[in-house]
Amino acid sequence: MTATRASLLAALAVLVAVPWWVPGDYYISVCSQILIYAVFALGVDVLIGYAGLVSLGHAGLFGLASYAVAIALASGSGQLGAVALALAVALLGTAAFAALSLRATGIGFIMITLALGQILWGLAYRWVSMTDGDNGVGVAARPMPFGFNLEVASHFYYATLVVFLLALLAAWVFVHSPFGASLAGTRDQPRRMNALGYHVWLIRFYACLFSGLLTAVAGILFVYYTKFISPQTLALTASAEGVLMVISGGSGTLLGPIVGAALVVIVKNVASAYIERWNMLLGAIFVAIVVFMPEGLVPGTTRLVRRAFKLRPNAPAPTGEPAPGEPAP
């Protein structure tokens, strides 16, 4: 067994054992929240890390899926129908987002996604007949798949863990596929990729859809987690947090966004109980990361460990794929 596989199995064992070693339902729920935001951050990372496109509107898509579930349930839909509807609505929303924002790259893309995210936030806030405005929409009960009561914190955690692992697997397959290589190529040399025969716009469009799918999955989990959705979830700060999760953990890696999500959620939910100005703490942590590990926590830690143990960087895989924890080529 390779060291990587052993590490992955150990991490899986730790995650599976969370309800036994984490004290109390509150902290188990915090772990669920970490996994939900990890899926969200993976979605954001598909664009930032692998497509080179920074989106400041992803909270809008996240909230769109959440609202779709909540409104569908409030209208009398079944759980499965509500989830299917939420996925469809979020994918349509993502397609519209992508069609509009991919007219530009760089700053232009950021500004268009920001504007689109703000439009969705505005709709959630002002379309009172549909969203109940600032009051938000509640979800009466979580689903009970196969009779498994998700109202119990540990049960909900396990359901979230399963979805998280599936999302992680999907992201892993995606970035190691020929399409993932094509996407990384469009990030690094779009002009060259075009000349090599690639449809750069369409590749980016499909990447947006995959990113939107992961974001929608996270949004659906979130609305079941909080059993409530309000415009605050779609706010610009929520989109910025997604970007910070990715950048602080390490963009272009699969582990980085998970670590970044854990960092943000822990500071927001745990450290805030002890520190009044927890926003300052979060800011200070980000400044420290940018100064000492500009590539993000995961690639930065990998670099420091290698230096400490005087290890040589891993030889690239035959097609140049990164070693685990290293940024994608």
Q: Which residues bind other proteins (CB under 8 A)?
A: 173-174, 176-182, 185, 188-189, 191-200, 206, 210, 315-321, 329
Shortest CB 205 distance to other proteins, Å:
12
C-alpha count within 13 angstroms, C-beta hemisphere, residue 174: 28
Shortest CB 22 distance to other proteins, Å:
35
Q: Quote the CA–CA distance of 44 and 97 in Å, as a whole number.
A: 14
Q: Quote the CA–CA distance of 44 and 88 in Å, as a whole number.
A: 19
Shortest CB 177 distance to other proteins, Å:
5
Shortest CB 2 distance to other proteins, Å:
15
149 or 189: CB nearest other proteins: 189
List the structure tokens of 79: 């759980």
Q: Are 55 and 113 in contact (CB under 8 A)?
A: yes
Query: Cα torsion for 217, 220, 222, 228, to the nearest 10°?
Result: 170
Query: What is the number of other CB atoms lying within 10 angstroms of the CB of residue 270?
Result: 14
231 or 252: CB nearest other proteins: 252
132 or 326: CB nearest other proteins: 326
184 or 263: CB nearest other proteins: 184
Q: Are 53 and 243 in contact (CB under 8 A)?
A: no
Query: Cα torsion for 38, 44, 46, 51, to the nearest 10°?
Result: -160
155 or 176: CB nearest other proteins: 176
Shortest CB 329 distance to other proteins, Å:
4
